[in-house]
Amino acid sequence: MLSKNLEKALNKQIRIEAESSQIYLAMASWAEVQGLSGVAGFMYGHSDEERMHMLKLVKYVNERGGHAIITDLKEPAKDFGTLPEVFQKLLDHEIFVSQSINELVQVTLDEKDYATHNFLQWYVAEQIEEEALARTALDKINLIGNDKGGLYLFDRDIEKLTVESAATDGSAM
Residue ranges for the binding site for Fe cation? 17, 50, 53, 94, 127
Q: What are the start-end ranges of the H helices in the chain?
A: 4-33, 37-63, 83-111, 114-144, 148-157
Binding-site positions: 17, 50, 53, 94, 127
**Sign of torsion over alpha carbons 95, 97, 101, 104:** positive
Backbone torsions φ then ψ of 83, nearest 5 degrees: -60, -45
DSSP state, 163? -
How many whole angstroms separate alpha carbon 151 and alpha carbon 157?
10
